[in-house]
Amino acid sequence: MSNTNFKRIEITIDNIPGDKSISHRAIILGSLAENSSAYSNFLFSEDCLNTFNIFRELRSDPTTITKNDANKTVFIKGLGLNGLSQAKKILDVGNSGTGIRLITGILASQLFDTEITGDSSIQKRPMKRIVDPLTQMGCSIKGQSLEGKNDIYPPLKITGISDGPTAIEYKMPVASAQVKSAILFASLFSRETTTIIEKKPSRNHTEIMLKAFGADITLNGNIITCSGKNPLVAPTQSTGENTLTIPSDFSSAAFFIVLALIRPNTKITLKNIGLNPTRATLIDVLKDMGAKINVIENEGNNIEPFGDIIVETSALKNITVDEKVIPFIIDEIPILAVAALFSEGTLKITNAEELRVKESDRIETTVAMIRAMGGEISEQPDGFELIGNNGCNKEFEVDSHGDHRIAMSAYIASKAGNELQPTINNSDCINTSFPTFLELLCQFS
């Protein structure tokens, strides 16, 4: 089948689901606020619904947090900073690393004890990175060890703290928004000021939301300070309403951005996508590769920028990705590898060792996926080098290893390849972040 056999597709996609990072934080901050708030375009995926259920468990009256599945909205009665109650059971984040790390920052700062865990993949994800700073703040968290590893793993047993955490000054050893957020959330329960120094910036949704909720937070270059001096108040729109609309998830949109670039005869418009620069940097990387992408920022009531992204089929040339932007494209690297497979030249990813501790070892699973598709790729400790070969022209079999972003990347490659009959094993994990992915993908048949 030649390129001209791809029928022309020119469509608008206006239903990419809400942002995963912001949805988790909406449940957390909405619960800790003094007032009530609602969030539309909430992500109804397994990860975020687990966070919703956890915050239901942490209320004496679980009916004070509700959701409307049909219009994708959650309604949250704010309980104030001291309003959470002890859960009656072990809390379960499912597959969500963001869930467990963020929520542990809150739980470790409460008067009561809690146990929190997740699925078998979560039980292999490192938690020392949050346990260390939280322990320095006086919190008490005990986890599990794994043979041959020097880290701490869930289930985590958290003992309540009577006078709240103490303030610390913390130099971040890794660029991680999850770790930074766990510390910031704990600092909300302290009257003193905690200081976080980032070597490399990471995504900043927590800082933006805390500011919007009136927290005592300052941002000065790579230094963030925060304390619990101010009560949290969910912001009100200029219309007087306090329903916040969560932008659609850039990381989910990224799969369709790449599909439109590498599938011949294609042009798409993605509506209302989150454009926070610490999230949407893949656009700049792809433009450096020659991608035809236009962004139109929308005006509207929102605490984060959002807009429409217009993408059309482009001839791409691979590049060496600047290591400074890695934390801003950390979730998009598997789909960037698929784009690179359809491009000329060599894509080099370095300084991305954080990929090894995601839902899978994403360096290993990305390399295995690209090889299965017939691509030439070499694995390095902190990244990989991929020589583009203009596509993916064989039947292939890929195992997601329980990683949603690997499964979705494999589906995208198969849609843009020629006469492919892929076998993608273990793809149920797509439901953790993007339950409507396969439905939206059907539009490209």
The CB-side HSE value for 423 (13 A sphere, CA atoms) comes to 5
46 is an interface residue for ligand S3P by CB under 6 A = no
Secondary structure (3-state) at 439: helix
181 is an interface residue for ligand S3P by CB under 6 A = yes
Distance separating alpha carbons of residues 45 and 251, to the nearest angstrom: 14
Active site residue 331: yes
125 is an interface residue for ligand S3P by CB under 6 A = no
Site for ligand S3P in 200-239 (CB under 6 A): 202-203
98 is an interface residue for ligand S3P by CB under 6 A = yes
Q: How far is the CB of 99 from ligand S3P (least distance, A)?
A: 9
**Other C-beta atoms within 10 Å of 19: how many?**
29
Distance separating alpha carbons of residues 430 and 321, to the nearest angstrom: 27
Number of residues that bind ligand S3P (CB under 6 A): 12
DSSP string for 248-298: BPHHHHHHHHHHHHHSTTEEEEEEEEE--TTT-THHHHHHHTT-EEEEEEP
Residue from 178, 187, 400, 427 in contact with ligand S3P (CB under 6 A): 178
- φ, ψ (nearest 5 deg) of residue 89: -145, 175
Stretch that binds ligand S3P, among 33-41, 173-181, 263-271, 281-289 (CB under 6 A): 173-181
Q: How far is the CB of 250 from ligand S3P (least distance, A)?
A: 11
| Nearer Cβ to ligand S3P (178/194) | 178
331 is an interface residue for ligand S3P by CB under 6 A = yes
| Nearer Cβ to ligand S3P (84/209) | 209
Q: How far is the CB of 202 from ligand S3P (least distance, A)?
A: 5
Give 3-state DSSP helix, strand, coil % of the chain, rounded to 5.
Answer: 35, 25, 45
Q: How far is the CB of 331 from ligand S3P (least distance, A)?
A: 5
Burial class of residue 201, CB neighbours in 10 A (0-12, 13-18, 19+) = middle
119 is an interface residue for ligand S3P by CB under 6 A = no
Q: How far is the CB of 28 from ligand S3P (least distance, A)?
A: 11
Q: How far is the CB of 233 from ligand S3P (least distance, A)?
A: 22
Q: Which residues contact 342 (CB under 8 A, 6 or more apart)?
A: 261, 262, 316, 388, 390, 391, 392, 416
Spatial strand order of the sheet with 169-171 comes to 169-171, 194-197, 223-227, 216-220
| Nearer Cβ to ligand S3P (55/444) | 55
Nearest-5° Cα angle at 293, 290 to 295: 145
From residue 307, alpha-carbon distances to 74, 280, 434 in Å are 23, 11, 19
Residues in the chain: 445
Q: Which residues pair with 64 in a beta bridge?
A: none
Distance separating alpha carbons of residues 313 and 40, to the nearest angstrom: 32
Residue 229 identity: K
Residue from 27, 330, 341, 392 in contact with ligand S3P (CB under 6 A): 330
Q: Choosing from 47, 331, 399, 403, which is the catalytic residue?
A: 331
Residue from 48, 177, 208, 270 in contact with ligand S3P (CB under 6 A): 177
Window 346-385: contact mask with ligand S3P (x via CB under 6 A): --------x-------------------------------
Window 21-40: contact mask with ligand S3P (x via CB under 6 A): x-------------------
| Nearer Cβ to ligand S3P (92/331) | 331
Q: How far is the CB of 102 from ligand S3P (least distance, A)?
A: 7
Q: Which helix (H) or strand (E) holds 142?
A: strand 140-144
| Nearer Cβ to ligand S3P (161/352) | 352
**Other C-beta atoms within 10 Å of 288: how many?**
15
Stretch that binds ligand S3P, among 9-17, 175-183, 262-270, 407-415 (CB under 6 A): 175-183
Q: Which residues here bind ligand S3P, judged by CB under 6 A?
A: 21, 98, 176-178, 181, 202-203, 327, 330-331, 354
The set of catalytic residues is 331
